[in-house]
Structure 1
């Protein structure tokens, strides 16, 4: 998914504002797993299959491989959640969608794939798209061809069956001041969301692939969250999303703190983590690392590719351990299926997944799974978790912090009960 990039602002600090721009991928052409713990079994193949609409999607029962969210027991240490998410997910000749499905399965992880609706719409049917504030059939990331749609649908189908989440990255990826998503009204966002759903729900009709297997889910029920293009337009998008029954948004810039609700949605935005070699912090997204390394040049100095990838990997891992050994706030990471700077960022994500997802008490999950877990918790416990600062572990330990009782004094210290010999 080549080429044209756009940037949205995410504040870090005054000294670092210019270096902390938040962006998402666009291109001239379209593209062209789960938490450890108890899981619900998958239905037998086609045992509950019921086609929806033209058969592009189908109801097949509950999603396989979903952990059962459990409320934290008093005094228990929270799990360390990590979310790997992908903007504009689609399968092209790079085959990065299929690659990261394999990486997820090998490392007991599930992920969130934000599918762009136009990646299921063929170029010759582009006029079916009526983007807000733009001409009919316009798109800053183009559309797709038959092979690209077939490959993308296959990966989406397999990803969902493996327990991954399918969200949305909407359609035309319009950014900036001229009709970009930041200027869209609530009703225009509702139109964009409806169209993103419709393209996924009617890909068979639009491509003529009527004999192909359906996507095994009802997208109206599956779709509960998104990330906006370039992280713009969050205010009106969240209003529209709340009215449409969405449960979370990942379109902002946060510190590594426990999530809270914003406009009735869980704010599961990406976060700022250490940026090795710099005094300011960096957003947890491949595009932003690239912008702060090679600017908007997607293929910079080849001699620096390895260094830049290591820099991203090490920054994400530092952020992980800051939470893992500290406040246990979920870590949210965003990426694109792109080979920027020689594919160094994809290599970095590979290495981060392998480093973190197999550790004790770590759950690499989708946004859907994280939202389910958050909804299952005692609100007073979440409120207490939100009092912990970035990297701050409870001073007297988790048992005391989340039990509401003081921790017992260690033996042999002033105030401790006498020890009988």
Structure 2
């Protein structure tokens, strides 16, 4: 034991321990210019217009160059044709423009021509999947911030490329939020870039797909893409109509209306929580909301009805539901009455009642009685009820509602005929 304890241990002096490859790469200097030069060597051998050749050379380059480490550098070269300095200006070190970038797309720009470049990128990202995350999270957001420094032609090519990238699922719409920065919304620059992106996206995809892409990307407040002194939904709507994209204008206004309706319902809930508020105070508050949200009156009345009925507690016995609903509608009908001046609005209210009764099946038989209450409270006229019965009803449960309403309609028509005879 003593001999073992006193024996000297082997020495490692003079032995060079080989570091792991990843450790060496991590400790290596960051040299984007060297990466660019090596990438150029691969691309320079390809004949211009040979997109398969460019793809093959990029795949070959990916096996030797550190695409992951230099992902942002690669995308600068692909989108801008060279390296950018902080602030977005080109690095002036004597290097020529890249042999392959979207700036090589022909002028005047055509989407089909740009597709060839994006198809190469698409295949490359499918091959090297680690390139997709930096594209969305760092490269596109960074490049958007610099696009105000580029000529209009370069911005158009970049925006067209981004539209195709989004349409092909290479990136979500999240990077678009960078176009709402103060220096980009000035003079509508950011909105014009956004317009080109949307127009390109819609070449191959539907408006519903675009709406879904924007929602998933967290792009919600579109007014922020407008200059600070022009942030009005109507300005946004008119811009896209003039740009020849009425489907975006219509989609946006539907979205605005839906959001406004939610606001009305939420406001009513808050108003009803204060039991001391009078109907007149509630009406005044609703008028303010209508003015602020610029909601068409038929849509507004529909929202008010939804807000009123949302505050009726139906967690009661089945035999009590009808009486409770009729009592509450009778109580709150005066809130609706000031907004029901036009025939169109009155028919919209009847349809709102119809849909509500259809969705709450326990109220289907109560529908005529609800109409009677609204009629007696001057919310709807006999002409509105008759028009709804003849050609204005919604498809939801239409035949059932027409059947249960028939006696009321006949009564109103009879009254109308008698009134005409008296006048005669």
Shorter-chain TM-score bucket reads under 0.3
TM-score (norm 2): 0.26
Q: Which structure shows the bigger proportion of residues in strand conformation?
A: 1
TM-score (norm 1): 0.26
Q: Relative contact order, CA 8 A, sep 6+: which one is greater?
A: 1
Higher-Rg member (1/2)? 2
